[in-house]
Amino acid sequence: LHTVTLPLPDEAATAALGRRLGAVLRPGDLVALRGDLGAGKSALSRALIRSVTHEDAEVPSPTFTLVQTYDTAIGPIWHFDLYRLSGPDEVYELGWDDARAEAVALVEWPDRLGPLLPPDRVEVTMEHDGPDARRATLTGHGTLAARVATADWT
Ligand code: ADP
Ligand code: MG
């Protein structure tokens, strides 16, 4: 398994990673975003979405709505925050099949998917490394392993 570890000394570095991710994703891809509350999962997602829409786009956290959808230069993006999901099957009510069929899915709290977590995915784990510093670990699984391994992350 190919893993890339990236230091993110400030929020600008996280935003730059979001832009790089946006440049390698295609419809049908899923990114599982892991890390504690405040680790920067939503900040990374926001930068990614802005990089493929416009820099001042409204990108609210899907904390309460569980999902936000966007039309972007790389096709639809569905941004999920599944923290409040009561069980895996509830994602179908959020439009999961449509998301998987035609969109890039960015998924915070992917463990909530249980057995529905797809084998082909990019895993991004964000960790605190000081008040304004974070560390990101990227791993490509299944068909996305090669894409993570060959992309330029720096
Ligand atoms: P999560 O979605 O993982 O709960 P958020 O992205 O909502 O986390 O919150 C991250 C918080 O940390 C934001 O307030 C953001 O401004 C702050 N922050 C500080 N430094 C960084 C960094 N290097 N990367 C991402 N966020 C950072
Ligand atoms: Mg969040």
Buried b (16+ CB within 10 A) or exposed e, 134-151: bbbebbbbeebbeebeee
Instruction: Give, for ligand 1, the residue of 6, 8, 11, 129 to mutate: max count of ligand atoms closer than 8 Å to Cβ.
Output: 11
Query: What distance in angstroms lies between residue 43's CA and the mean position of ligand 1's atoms?
Result: 5
Is a pLDDT exceeding 90 seen at residue 65? yes
Is a pLDDT exceeding 90 seen at residue 1? no
Residues 117 and 110 sit within 8 Å (Cβ to Cβ): yes
3-state helix, strand, coil split of the chain in percent (to 5) is 35, 30, 35
Nearest ligand, measured from the Cα of 37 = 1
Is a pLDDT exceeding 90 seen at residue 36? yes
**Could you read off the pLDDT of 116-150 as tens digits, one per residue?**
999 999 999 999 999 999 999 999 999 999 999 99
Domains of the chain: residue spans and CATH: 3-150 (3.40.50.300)
Interface confidence: ipTM more than 0.85: yes
pLDDT at position 2: 81
- Type of residue found at 70: Y
